[in-house]
Amino acid sequence: MASPTAARRCVCFAIVALFTVLCEASLSGLYIDNGVDQTVIHHSMTRHERLVVEHEILELLGLGERPRGPRSQPLDRSAPSFLLDVYKQLAEEHEQARPTRSSEMALSGDEQHAIDESDLIMTFQSKKHHLGALRQGHGRHVWFEVAGGPGDPTSLLTAELRLHQASTHTEDPTSLYKVVVHRVLNVDSMGKLQLEEVAAVNTSAGSEGWLEVNVTSALAAWLTSPADNRGFFITLHPHSQPERHVKPEEIGLEEPRGMIVEGKQPFLVAFFKSGPKLGNADPSARRKREAKRWRTHGYSENHSRNPLTDTSHWTTRSCEIQTLYVSFKDLEWQDWIIAPDGYGAFYCSGECNFPLNAHKNATNHAIVQTLVHLLNPQLVPKPSCAPIKLSPISVLYYTDDSNVILRKYKNMVVKSCGCH
């Protein structure tokens, strides 16, 4: 028998295998090693098979249904641009390469820690709201649609509001100001806002770049009760006269006449831990949906056409890593997946025959099992070829309401194989 550790690795690989074996679209979307050192495209799927498979993969990715991403949504807007930078940084870290691209979205130490700790990062682009025309003390109203975010506020690590300050021509660029972010609690019949201060940040009149304000408490409240979301109200006060209100645009926090330069829009970024589901996630309901799909669409296993199970045409080879590439582009998911176009999943295949030498990465248990197998092949099977090291991937995608998510998925890429 395999060790508990090996068993867990096999389970991880089984998940990867389910994902990749089923990724067969009209253009296939799945590229494999055909056993003679050639990477070939897999067979086409029927319409019913593709529908079933698409739902299964979305469940694996933690999505109830396929997001209908906006094909025309520009990537140079501030929210997707920020997460694209984070995605590229994570990709470089996985490849153990040094970052080669500097970004205007400079990350603070707290943000870098949040990126490392989280497994889901979501950005919300500012949108128009019925309170948007209100002015109170020369402040500015900013609103975000957060109803599409994870409904469990306990998974929220931190959230920050990012505001861009542009360069302005002022008489004294060293003048200090306090930017205060309030949560709008209510609006009375006279249009007066009831505010609650959330956080504040200091800046100078001559500063340029992104201001970061911690708004974790406000977002947690809105995730719990989206109906209470009336947005933020931002006020600006000179340090020397904290009771005085100054128009935000006077130091570049708002372009004249409300014109926002592309890529400089205010946005909200939230970091979540433990892979929260987007929307309701009822395991029993999922099992019922899965059973119905297989019954309805009549999908029948055909191992004879599956090169991962039909190895009769292969030459016998030792346990080693094999090519397996999943193409999101061929699956026609580029309308909602921003990056990557696909990924190399790889898989393990081959024989674990005696003697199990060092290059086969065999466990001590596998060596003993091999010896017992030689004595009694009918009673004890040979060790299995399985992954011994897996790595994660990150996927950047749009949600239905044009917000953007970066999600990390563990144990998705086989890095090395061994006998267990």
Report the C-alpha gap between 302 and 252 in whole angstroms.
63
Report the C-alpha gap between 92 and 409 in whole angstroms.
16
Are residues 39 and 32 in contact, defined by beta-carbon separation less than 8 angstroms?
yes
Are residues 192 and 136 in contact, defined by beta-carbon separation less than 8 angstroms?
yes
Do strands 193-204 and 324-327 pair parallel, antiparallel, or not at all (unpaired)? unpaired
Q: Tell me phi and psi for residue 332, to 5 degrees.
A: 60, 40
pLDDT value at residue 256: 46
Asked if the model's pLDDT at residue 305 lies above 60, the reply is no
Q: For residue range 1-23, list pLDDT tens digits in order.
A: 444 444 444 434 434 444 444 44
Q: What is the pTM of this model?
A: 0.76
Q: pLDDT: is 204 or 402 the higher one?
A: 204
Q: pLDDT: is 324 or 190 the higher one?
A: 324
Asked if the model's pLDDT at residue 68 lies above 80, the reply is no
Are residues 25 and 326 in contact, defined by beta-carbon separation less than 8 angstroms?
no
pLDDT value at residue 162: 92
Question: What's the length of the chain?
Answer: 420
| 172 C-beta neighbours (distance < 10 Å), count | 9
Q: Report, as an integer, the average pLDDT of 262-277.
A: 79
Q: pLDDT: is 40 or 103 the higher one?
A: 40
Mean pLDDT across the chain: 75
Asked if the model's pLDDT at residue 160 lies above 90, the reply is yes
DSSP code for 106: P
Q: pLDDT: is 106 or 285 the higher one?
A: 106
pLDDT value at residue 212: 92
All domains of the chain in start order, with CATH = 4-63+297-399+409-419 (2.10.90.10), 106-272 (2.60.120.970)
Considering 17-21, 232-236, 297-301, the range whose residues carry the highest mean pLDDT is 232-236
For every residue of 158-209, DSSP letters joined together read: EEEEEEEE-----S-TT-EEEEEEEEEEEE-TTSPEEEEEEEEEEEETT--E
Q: Report, as an integer, the average pLDDT of 107-132.
A: 81
Are residues 418 and 388 in contact, defined by beta-carbon separation less than 8 angstroms?
yes
Asked if the model's pLDDT at residue 50 lies above 60, the reply is yes
Query: Around 164, how many Cα atoms within 13 Å sit in the side-chain half-sphere?
Result: 21
Q: pLDDT: is 303 or 377 the higher one?
A: 377
Q: pLDDT: is 132 or 35 the higher one?
A: 35
Q: For residue range 341-377, list pLDDT tens digits in order.
A: 888 889 898 888 888 766 678 888 888 888 888 888 8
Report the C-alpha gap between 18 and 53 in whole angstroms.
10
pLDDT value at residue 280: 45
pLDDT value at residue 253: 84
Three-state DSSP class for residue 388: strand
| 71 C-beta neighbours (distance < 10 Å), count | 9
Asked if the model's pLDDT at residue 220 lies above 90, the reply is yes
pLDDT value at residue 136: 57
pLDDT bracket for residue 185 (50, 70, 90): very high
Report the C-alpha gap between 165 and 178 in whole angstroms.
13
pLDDT value at residue 362: 81
CA distances from 381 to 1, 44, 56, 79 (A): 8, 35, 32, 53
Asked if the model's pLDDT at residue 287 lies above 80, the reply is no
pLDDT value at residue 213: 94
Q: What residues have CB less than 8 Å from 198, skipping those under 6 apart? A: 181, 182, 183, 213, 215, 217, 218, 232
Paired with 381 in beta bridges are: none
Are residues 229 and 131 in contact, defined by beta-carbon separation less than 8 angstroms?
no
